Structure 1
Amino acid sequence: MGGNEHADVVVVGSGFGGAVTAYRFAEAGHRVVLLERGKAYPPGSFARSPTEIAANFWDPSQGRHGLFDVWSFADFEAVVSSGLGGGSLIYANVLLRKDEKWFVRDAPAGEGYENWPISRADLEPHYAAVEKTIGVQRFPKGQPRYQASRRTELLEQAGERLGYTAEQPPLAVTFGVGGDAPVPGAPIGEPAYGNIHGRPRITCVLCGECDLGCNYGSKNTLDHTYLSAAVHHGANVRVHHEARSITPRDGGGYTVGYVVHTPGDVVATSALPQRTITCDRLVLAAGTLGTTYLLLRNRAALPGISRMLGRRFSGNGDLLGFVSGVPGPALGSAHAPVITTAVRVPDAVDSHGGHAGGHTGGRGGPGADRGCYIEDAGYPGFAEWLVEAANLDNEASRIVRTVYELIRSRLTGGPSRQIGALVGRLLGPGEASAGAMPLLGMGRDIPTGKISVRDDYLQIENYPADSQPYFERLDRLMEDLAEEMGGKYHRNPLTLLSRVITVHPLGGASMGTDITTGVIDEWGEVFNHPGLYVADGAALPGPVGANPSLTIAAFADRLAEHAVDAGPVLETQP
């Protein structure tokens, strides 16, 4: 794996952009090498114990090579994945298509405008191709053994009573096999070539652990689908390999410098020895943060790259809220996939076409009339104990009453007796967790974030300040839904500090109509650098609004199809 190694295509990253492009190029007969910095996670290998989870973060300088990579910037936090399959390992499975009118085409002016050079129609066949390959199904609401998730119908009804549309969104989860009725725990059949892990998989067991990694293989993650197919077609997939440098080659193509991590070694990435591989085509799909960092870090080696590099960052309007005290039977927040229902709130562009008016907004300031989705968010069963523990007043009073009864029994010389009922009262009725659920909101925030690299560290500024009216509206909408369900809404404490957490970072190397408006063209190719592509969330010129995974994958599918059909790469321009 030294300096003499060459591939037709090198793909950096194995998420929704990398997995799809690796498969499409390999299927077309190209020699593909995929570099993924994280490790493979077969079913059964995801962390669950406190000790395992504490070590399951990414920071090689501290000897951590785990799944979760948490970034903290000036005004927000971001959580992304490091592992074979990228974000599909920890996402909430939702595969919604971007709304047709949300492919807005504002006139380029100032900051915060959106100008998508592609349309919903351009992506339609690729949406369908991705859905077929991944295998989407909807949560089987109301069917036997799936009725414990009361939150599914409750949120749907609340949204509809408020005048919004609601649905069970397509999920990358297997509930039933081969058209049979859904049954938890049934074996999932594999293609003749099997899957990349060689482990059996079973249908969804409704454990609510999707965001921690599915130990049952019920999630149709990219390692089970696209990456397994890519390997079948000859792709060379390498874990623990992290790309660090990009250099155009004389006559065309690129030299990629990379390092190899050894899990457990306490070595900073910058201190690892660098190796190289050359290629005719290079696809960057290391995630929004990883890809933009690579391009910024190697900007001097890429003459003529657009000045828009690092611009147009968006968090896809992510906002987390909480509902408690919903009356009636338990919501079943820990007895279904993480997300089962999506409520769509309309956008101003829905009524007057695909022009959002750039950075302007309606009453309430910029972004106050932008659309969004609000989804139920479940959690693992063990998290119900955390919800109960958070109800400290009731817990303290139960402890006092229990201790009092035990002491009174001893002091009065009462007979020995079974205390099962007493212990049960100590644990409490479970009302706090029974009536609680998180809400996950996302939508059309304003993409004004600016990404830069300082002292080899990624920095992001000017986000989410310009989107505060949007977030305030989303907060109010969540509160309306909570009240409609009969519960009480709790804002995420971080919003009180004007901070948010995003799990859907987008932009930084976005597409444009030309080099003055974007880093790449509508086919994902970097302006002035033939054969260099961006295939992940960094390519998007604004928020998707809905969960962005399907749109990223469809864009990557379109990119790869066009590149394969285009034939040999032209010589890199000076």
Structure 2
Amino acid sequence: MDSFDAIVVGSGFGGSVTAYRLAEAGLRVCLLERGKAYPPGSFPRSPHETAKNFWDPSSQLFGMYDLWSFSKLDALVSSGLGGGSLIYANVLIRKPETWFVNESIDGGYERWPVTREDLDPHYDSVERMLDAQPYPFDQKPYEDTPKTVAMQEAAGKLGLSWELPKLAITFARPNEAPAPGVEIPGGDDNLHHSPRSTCRLVGECDLGCNFGSKNSLDLTYLSAAQRRGADIRTFCEVRAFEPVDGGFQVSYIEHRPGQDGDPAAPPLRGAVRARRLILSAGALGTPYLLLRNRSAFPALSPALGSRFSGNGDFLGMIVKARRLQEEGGDGELVPRLLAPSYGPVVTSAMFMPDAHDEGGTGRGFYIEDAGYPEFLNWLVENNVLTMSHRVGRFLLRRAWSAATHSPKSQVGRSAADALSKGLFTATSLPMLGMGRDVPDGRVFLREGHLDLDWDLTASKPYFDRLNKTMGEVSKSLGGRYWASPLWLLNRLITVHPLGGAPMGRDRREGVVDSYGQVYGYPGLSIADGSVMPGPVGPNPSLTIAALADRSAERIIDDHRRNPAGRP
């Protein structure tokens, strides 16, 4: 059985940062990731391949999208080397200083045992590693990005602050001006050995970037960890772990998907040992593993499963935006192009202050522009039903012209009419909302499956306010507003599940301390979104990574003080 100084379970923002920092410090590290590697160019785009790109090994699905459905909430997370960084929108925003609240935990409030000052050095470190940079909105061809211009205008009309957040995207070659689609020198220096190019502004971030423009974790932290000797194992799904001989033994199964349509082979069983174990399987995966293995850890905090939050995630849509043909006059209203498929998925954000902020009320939030690939515009505008109607009309006209011996031979206009003008999608824009919902959910096991006890009641004022503000943004741009259809069914979907193994000042309040170390079990740590005692507010990836960076420093210090005791 292989032995290491540390085993890391999961390769998301917590696991990748931890694996790199420990390997950099000279520890022997094994990282176990249940999913597969996705080099640039391997992310599916065809309907056939995309239909297989979900995670459900019991159905021989070993893809990237892992969808969980609970009674009141759905959650979408990622399975693959690099975790959520493969499909996130690249946004790196620091948690506002005033949102590290320290309130009574009664009634659904949270208590943060860390501060912004604690995390700022680690925010700095992560931003450097991910080469974080704002969208280059002050340069061509980026300065005319319609959705960015529109969001800036809307924020100004509503009196909300607006920003260009840092993004983990490469827009330019070193020491050169930004330019779309140029090769990045040395871009193949990664664990995939795949070349990379700068952002091509095609809105495909959430489907996986086939051009390597995203500075995802596999291309940054994990590549660096591997260069420093980390043993990275894919398709290895952890099932059990237990304390043993002053350390931990981790048991896993190694999936063996079939190739070229062949059925999967039976999985192999494996086990490894280490003095330290770091769980980084995410806010659903880590609590699930702890709950399933609780008999081996009887002293775990009663807070296990608590403080679950969806980070206030909400989806809204501006549709049919309009503007005056002559700005400032009484001219005719004409379509306002928002072009959601131009640019990365997110370019900018507006901010609604919180009751903890000067002049704020209620629970604060962010609203970000969102985009999607161009092929979705074709899907909406030229689907089978509408396309067949227009093409049928075109063919009837051609048949009539032939029957009447029409002399008109140029029919470009008729052919153009057979296609949609595309104005619905061109004048529409998704909006992503996230913020300080109430973290009063609890995850637990029911018949061996993870379940969630959560309802909308406590957070409804927050969502009502966010929904209302999105409507005002839409109106300010001359558009109509559509809320997520799930909202009409009193359901939500989150891509940022948090909590379940929250940090706290003691074992009663949290599963881990402020450094992610599990109370009662030296050597066992958690580094992922499950340690959040409440919502981050903005996109949580950067804060998860910063907390992991801080936690890794404590593990390194402990190891240097007491390097003996390897299993």
2:142 paired with 1:149: no
Stretches of structure 2 lacking an aligned partner (at least 5 in a row):
323-334
Hey, what does 1:335 align to over in structure 2?
342
Is the partner of 1:22 in helix, strand or coil? Answer: helix
Distance between the aligned counterparts of 2:45 and 2:270, measured in 1? 35
Q: Does 1:385 align with 2:378?
A: yes
Q: Quick one: distance in 2 between partners of 1:563 and 1:145?
A: 45
Tell me what 2:158 maps to: 162
Find the aligned partners of 1:498 and 1:509 in 2 and give their Cα distance.
26
User: How far is the alpha carbon of 1:561 from its aligned partner?
Assistant: 0.7
Which position in structure 2 is the counterpart of 1:420? 412
Task: Map 1:108-127; keep pairs closer than 5 Å.
Answer: 108-109=105-106, 111-127=107-123
Q: Does 1:299 align with 2:306?
A: no
Which residue identity is paired with 2:54? F
Judge conservation of contact 2:248–2:276 (CA < 8 Å) in 1.
yes
Worse-superposed segment, 327-336 or 160-169: 327-336
Q: Mean alpha-carbon deviation: is it higher for 453-462 or for 128-137?
A: 453-462
Deviation string, structure 1 residues 45-79 (Cα, Å, up to 9, x no partner): 00011111111111111111001111111111111
> Structure 2 matches for 1:404-553, cutoff 5 A?
404-415=396-407, 417-553=409-545
CA contact (8 A) 1:174 1:204 kept: yes
Residue correspondence of structure 1 range 259-274 to structure 2 within 5 A: 259-264=253-258, 272=267, 274=269
Amino acid at match of 2:365: C
| Cα shift at 1:385 | 1.2
CA contact (8 A) 1:449 1:464 kept: no
CA-to-aligned-CA distance 1:207-242 (integer Å, 9 cap, x gap): 110000000000000001000110111100000001
Cα 1:352–1:204, aligned 2, differ >3 Å: closer, same or farther?
Answer: closer
Offset, 1:428: 2.8
Residues 499, 466 of structure 1: alpha-carbon distance in 2 compared, 3 angstrom cutoff: same
Q: How many residues align?
A: 549
The answer to whether the Cα contact below 8 Å between 2:198 and 2:213 also exists between their aligned partners in 1 is yes
CA distance in 2, matches of 1:302, 1:570: 24
Distance 1:458 1:472 in 2: 29
Q: Which moved more, 1:274-283 or 1:514-523?
A: 274-283
Does structure 1 retain, via aligned residues, the 8 Å contact 2:353–2:359? no
For the residue of structure 2 that corresponds to 1:14, the secondary structure is: coil
Match of 1:372 among 340, 365, 376: 365
Picking from 16, 19, 26, the partner of 2:13 is 16
Contact 1:311–1:509, Cα closer than 8 Å, also in 2: yes
- By how many angstroms is 1:457 displaced? 1.1
- 1:469, CA displacement in angstroms? 1.7
* 2:297 is the counterpart of 1:290: no
Q: How does 1:44-59 map to 2 (within 5 A)?
A: 44-59=41-56
Distance, in Å, in 2 between the alignment partners of 1:164 and 1:433 is: 26
1:256 corresponds, among 244, 250, 255, to 250
Which amino acid in 2 is paired with 1:565? D
Task: Name the counterpart of 1:176.
Answer: 172
Name the residue aligned to 1:60.
57
Q: Answer 1 or 2: which has greater strand percent.
A: 2
What root-mean-square deviation, in Å, do the aligned CA atoms of Structure 1 and Structure 2 show? Answer: 2.2
Paired residue for 1:350, among 357, 361, 367?
357
User: 2:219 aligned to 220, 224, 232, which one?
Assistant: 224
- Deviation at 1:185? 1.4
> Compared with structure 1, are the counterparts of its residues 539 and 198 closer, same or farther at alpha carbon in structure 2 (3 Å cutoff)?
same
2:328 maps to: none
Q: What's the CA shift for 1:137?
A: 1.3
Query: SS at the partner of 2:374?
Result: coil
**Per-residue deviation, 1:403:** 4.9
More deviation, 507-516/378-387 = 378-387
**SS, match of residue 545 in structure 1:** coil
Identify the residue that residue 325 of structure 2 maps to in structure 1: none
Residue 432 of structure 1 aligns to a residue whose secondary structure is: helix
Partner residue in 2 for 1:195: 190
CA distance, structure 1, for counterparts of residue 321 and residue 164 of structure 2 = 21
Residue of structure 1 equivalent to 2:332: none
Distance in 2 (alpha carbons) for counterparts of 1:243 and 1:190: 34
Q: State the Cα deviation string for residues 273-311 of structure 1 (Å, max 9, x = none).
A: 532111100000011111111111111110210000000
1:277 maps onto 2:277 in alignment? no
Residue-by-residue CA offset, 1:526-549 (whole Å, 9 max, x unaligned): 000011011000011000000000
Q: 1:521 and 1:217 mapped to 2: Cα distance?
A: 36
Q: 1:569 to 1:284 in 2, by over 3 A?
A: farther
8 Å CA contact 1:253, 1:571 repeated in 2: no
Aligned position for 2:230: 235
Alignment of 1:39 onto 2:36: yes
- Equivalent in the alignment of 2:131: 135
**Structure 1 residues 76, 266: closer, same or farther in 2, change over 3 A?**
farther
What amino acid sits opposite 1:344 in the alignment?
F
2:410, 2:144 → 1: CA distance? 32
Identity rate of aligned residues, in percent?
51
Cα distance in 1 for partners of 2:341, 2:499 equals: 33
**What is the Cα deviation at residue 386 of structure 1?**
2.5
Q: Given that residues 60 and 266 in structure 1 are in contact (C-alpha distance below 8 angstroms), is that contact kept between their aligned partners in structure 2?
A: no
For the 8 Å contact 2:10–2:279, the answer to whether it is kept is: yes
Correspondence for 1:356: none
Kept in 1, the 8 Å contact 2:257–2:264? The answer is no
- Check if 1:562 corresponds to 2:542: no
Give the Cα separation in 2 of the matches to 1:287 and 1:300: 21
SS of alignment partner, residue 427 of structure 1: coil
CA contact (8 A) 1:61 1:266 kept: no
Measured after TM superposition, the shift of residue 455 of structure 1 is 2.2
Q: Which amino acid in the other structure matches residue 50 of structure 1? A: P
- Please identify, of 417-426 and 344-353, the stretch whose mean Cα deviation from structure 2 is larger: 344-353
User: Partners of 1:489 and 1:227 in 2: how far apart?
Assistant: 41
Change (3 A) 1:267 1:244: farther
Deviation at 1:401, TM superposition (A): 5.1
Q: Give 2:285's aligned amino acid.
A: G
SS of 2:272's equivalent in the other structure is strand
- Residue identity matched to 1:214: C
C-alpha distance in structure 2 between counterparts of 1:179 and 1:371, whole Å: 38
Letter in 1 for 2:526: V
Moved over 3 A (4+): 264-268, 271-274, 389-393, 395-404, 568-572
User: CA contact under 8 A between 1:60 and 1:267: conserved in structure 2?
Assistant: no
Cα displacement (A) at 1:160: 2.0
TM-score by length of 2: 0.93
Distance 1:427 1:267 in 2: 43
User: Distance in 2 between the 1:477 and 1:290 partners?
Assistant: 33
Q: CA deviation at 1:41?
A: 0.5
- Cα–Cα, structure 1 residues 283 and 125, in superposed 2: closer, same or farther, change >3 Å? same
The answer to whether residue 4 in structure 2 is matched with residue 7 in structure 1 is yes
Question: Does the CA contact (< 8 Å) of 1:159 and 1:481 recur in 2?
Answer: yes
Which residue identity lines up with residue 45 of structure 2 in the other structure? R
Distance change >3 Å, CA 166–CA 420, structure 1 → 2: same
